[in-house]
Amino acid sequence: MVMKKETKEWLNISKEDKEVAEMTWKTKRYIYAIMFWQQAVEKIIKAYIVEVINVLPRKTHDIDQLLEQAKLNIIEIKIKDTKEITKAFMRTRYEDLSRKYYSDKKKVEPLIKQAQRIYLWIEKLLKNL
């Protein structure tokens, strides 16, 4: 199957964000790691929406809303909701909030693992179309 041009664009951007997230994790820049994982997840969902649902994705950073638009149920991968990943989008933009919530590995690692699971799940779904 040949993917739409817009899908490929979203996938390329999400892959770049994922790569930056992985690099910043390795260098212990946890604030940036969660920020870029949130962005990678958001953009791969938007790629799925374009490709599968065949509409433009909502202009939002809310992962739960995007999953709903994509008609994807994360319960399938044993995740209840993505509220904390979504909150990371705003919190990482403010010094006081980013330090409070994402300053060390212990605080960030569960969110990153959740983001990775979602990303890999959607990536697999797209590959299996």
Q: What is the dihedral of CA 112, 83, 36, 52, to 10 degrees?
A: 100
The model's pLDDT over 17-68, given as tens digits with 9 standing for 90+, comes to 999 999 999 999 999 999 999 999 999 999 999 999 999 999 999 999 999 9
**Domain extents for the chain?**
5-111+119-127
**Residue 81 amino acid letter:** D
The model's pLDDT over 76-118, given as tens digits with 9 standing for 90+, comes to 999 999 999 999 999 999 999 999 999 999 999 999 999 999 9
The topology under which CATH files domain 5-111+119-127 is: Four Helix Bundle (Hemerythrin (Met), subunit A) (1.20.120)
Assessment of whether the complete model's pTM goes beyond 0.95 = yes
